[in-house]
Structures are given as C-alpha cells and as structure tokens.
C-alpha cells in the first residue's frame, strides 16, 4: 500500500448481508494481522449499519487472538440499540471458527453543547524540519538492526515523522513520552467524516506502545520483548481533514505485570484536539 486509495480499498469491506461483511489483510511488516486494520475494518462494518446520520463518538475493543494474514476476516454486526440520541453496535470478527476480536461502538446524533479541550504541547519541532521513516531508512538503513530495517522497508500509505529520533543502539532509559507527526500519502480531500474516522483509527495503532518501552530502553527493545495489543479504546471529538500533518502525542503512565498502558491525543497542526486513544499491550520479556 502506498496511497490513501490503497488504504481505503483495504478498509472498505465486502458486504455479505446488512450485518455481515468480509475483509482481507495487508502486512505492515509483522507476520500477523495489524491491529489497526482490524479496528478500522470493524468500524467500517459498524458504520454501515447506521442509517440515521449519527456520528461515531467512541469505541472499545479487545484483541482475542492473532489474525492470520492469509485468511479473510468476517465481521458480524449486532444492532444493540437505536435510542433517541445514541446508537450502539457490537462487532465480532472471525477467521474460520475462531473469534479474534470484539468491538463496541457508540454513535451520537449531532447536538450543540459546551466546548473545551487541553492544549497541544508548545514548541514542538514542525514536520518540515524532521526526518520521516522513509528518510531514516535512506540515511541510516545500513546501520539499523535487521528487523527494524525490514519494518521501515514496507511501503505504507502514511508518512510518520517523530519529533525525536531514538537511537536503538543507545542503551539508555528514556521518559515515557512520544510525539509523532503523520500525514496520508496521496489525495485525501473530500472524504466524509465516517471514512476519516476509520483511517484515523487505523493509524492510531501505530507508535503508541513505543512510549511503554522507552523507560526500559537500557535493557528492553522490540527484539527481546514480546508485544501485542490487548485492547484499544478511542474517543472522537471533532471533525478534521487529512490535508495537513496531524500530531499524535503519546505517553505511558504505567507498566507492570508484563503489561504496559499507553494513551494518546491526536491534534491538528493548529492545535485542535480531534481524538484520544488508550491502549494496554502485552510487554513480556523474552527469556532465552
């Protein structure tokens, strides 16, 4: 996948019935299905059962088993409730007889109300002055660990630019914070809000667990730590566009019991808060 059109062809599911949909998978460099793909495809399935123009405002999900890249994924949607203001959907994802994922999503009719938000960090480096993953591969590819180089070599429909580049060879513990600018490749204009939310959901599963590893970077890295997303929640606050860079600002308040917790906020360049994310992941040291 190299552009937003490639991503949309992955996220928009084949309709089997009014409440059943099929999807395929594309690797992002991992031998299993990317969690962000399943999240976004499940949101696509749920959204297509909404016929009253309500807008997705939150979702909560659990990853139950690793997905097989070679098998299609079937998404079954349960219409839990259509109330006066909110509609709730439950989505179950299957591969053959295995349930690999469950999600609940809530949609809200448009209403006026109070408005406030936290502010974006001041003084962050702007994306024009930063190296992206593509630049890092071109400039430092020969010096990167083999697994990390292979990950960067996968073509993606999104460009990521971290505000600080962490040297994986520098064994030093770091603060549990990470800020990454991101932008879609290709023409992302004239997308409806539901589609933009699905794309944002896909991207939200990138980078977030890095902040959990940073405080343990003197001894822990992706090569000696078993990681997996366990759950993922997201709240959608305001409309936005993909025509400029967006900022994903992440932090990890805690890690314990072979699990790490991270949360993040997604802002426009102007500082409008458009979504918040929370995820707990498996962070199990590999004992050799």
Catalytic residue IDs: 205, 229, 279
**For the purposes of burial, counting CB atoms within 10 Å of the CB of 110, is it exposed (0-12), middle (13-18) or buried (19 or more)?**
exposed
137: left (phi over 0), alpha (psi -120 to 50) or beta: alpha
The conformation of residue 204, written as its DSSP 8-state character, comes to H
Q: Which two tokens stand for residue 239?
A: 């409309």
- For strands 86-95 and 14-17, give the pairing: unpaired
Query: Does residue 236 contact residue 260 with C-beta atoms inside 8 Å?
Result: no
How far, in Å, CA of 89 to CA of 222, rounded?
35
The count of C-alpha atoms lying within 13 angstroms of the C-alpha of 148, restricted to the half-sphere facing its C-beta, is 18
How far, in Å, CA of 53 to CA of 56, rounded?
10
List of E strands, the chain: 14-17, 20-23, 55-63, 73-82, 86-95, 98-108, 158-162, 177-184, 225-236, 246-256, 259-268, 273-285
Query: Does residue 240 contact residue 246 with C-beta atoms inside 8 Å?
Result: yes
How far, in Å, CA of 267 to CA of 119, rounded?
9
Nearest to 75 by CA among 110, 33, 23, 125: 23
């Amino acid at each position: 996948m190299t552009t937003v059109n490639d991503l949309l062809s992955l996220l928009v599911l084949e309709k089997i019935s009014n409440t059943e949909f099929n999807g395929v998978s594309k690797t992002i460099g991992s031998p299993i299905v990317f969690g962000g793909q399943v999240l976004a495809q499940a949101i696509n399935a749920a959204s297509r059962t909404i016929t009253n123009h309500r807008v997705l405002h939150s979702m909560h999900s659990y990853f139950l088993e690793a997905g097989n890249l070679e098998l299609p994924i079937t998404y079954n949607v349960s219409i839990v409730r259509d109330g006066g203001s909110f509609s709730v959907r439950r989505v179950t994802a299957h591969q053959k007889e295995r349930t690999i994922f469950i999600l609940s999503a809530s949609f809200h009719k448009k209403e006026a109300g109070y408005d406030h938000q936290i502010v974006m960090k001041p003084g962050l480096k702007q994306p024009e002055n930063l190296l992206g993953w593509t630049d890092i591969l071109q400039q430092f590819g020969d010096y990167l660990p083999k697994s990390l180089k292979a990950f960067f070599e996968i073509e993606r429909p999104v460009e990521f630019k971290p505000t600080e580049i962490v040297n994986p060879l520098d064994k030093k513990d770091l603060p549990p914070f990470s800020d990454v600018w991101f932008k879609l490749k290709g023409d992302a204009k004239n997308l409806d809000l539901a589609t933009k939310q699905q794309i944002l959901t896909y991207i939200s599963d990138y980078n977030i667990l890095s902040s959990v590893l940073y405080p343990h970077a003197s001894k822990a890295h992706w090569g000696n730590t078993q990681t997996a997303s366990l759950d993922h929640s997201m709240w959608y606050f305001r409309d936005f566009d993909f025509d400029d860079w967006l900022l994903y600002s992440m932090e990890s308040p805690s890690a314990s019991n072979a699990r790490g917790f991270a949360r993040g906020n997604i802002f426009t360049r102007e500082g409008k808060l458009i979504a918040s994310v929370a995820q707990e992941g498996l962070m199990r040291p590999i004992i050799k």
